[in-house]
């Protein structure tokens, strides 16, 4: 999609939302109307921002063993770094072949997923309280 064709986003999002709603028994005209409302709402919400849309994933899939291992290692000291420190992130990024930026995102997402499994709200909703 290019800047010259922003309507493609609205058309594609409308079509996807309408298909999902129609597949669940909604009348096609109603599904298309709601799909367009969703698309316009997304545009209003994210207008003039850079939005990263990740590849589709199975949201019901349990956390990977690797991500759990990384979170566990992050909470443990190493010979040269304290647990939960930026130095520990540097070490783990090198160990797992990831960027530090990606590792911070992974840790945040993994902590939120663990909290969800425990029936606790994500970190954002707890206003700064430590997630573990």
Any domain includes 54: no
Instruction: Tell me, yes or no, whether 108 lies in a domain.
Output: yes
Full-prediction pTM beyond 0.85? no
Give the Cα separation of 70 and 78 in Å (integer).
13
Query: Over pLDDT 90: what percentage of the chain?
Result: 46
Q: Is the pLDDT of residue 74 over 90?
A: yes
User: Within this chain, do residues 38 and 70 fall inside the same structural domain, yes or no?
Assistant: no
Return the percentage of the chain with pLDDT > 70, whole number.
80
Residue 1: the pLDDT is 47
Q: Which is more confidently placed, 125 or 12?
A: 12
Q: Which domain holds residue 93?
A: 65-126
Per-residue pLDDT, 130: 47
* Angular region, 128: left φ>0, alpha ψ -120 to 50, beta rest: left
């Amino acid at each position: 999609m290019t800047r010259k064709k922003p309507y493609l986003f609205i058309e594609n999002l409308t079509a996807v939302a309408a298909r999902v709603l129609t597949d669940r028994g909604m009348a096609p005209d109603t599904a298309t109307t709601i799909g367009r409302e969703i698309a316009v709402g997304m545009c209003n919400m994210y207008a003039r921002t850079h939005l990263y849309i990740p590849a589709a994933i199975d949201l019901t899939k349990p956390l990977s063993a690797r991500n759990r291992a990384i979170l566990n290692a992050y909470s443990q000291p190493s010979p040269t770094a304290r647990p939960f420190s930026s130095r520990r992130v540097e070490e783990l990024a090198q160990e797992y072949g990831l960027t530090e930026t990606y590792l911070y995102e992974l840790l945040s997402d993994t902590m939120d997923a663990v909290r969800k499994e425990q029936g606790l709200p994500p970190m954002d909703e707890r206003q700064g309280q430590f997630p573990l």
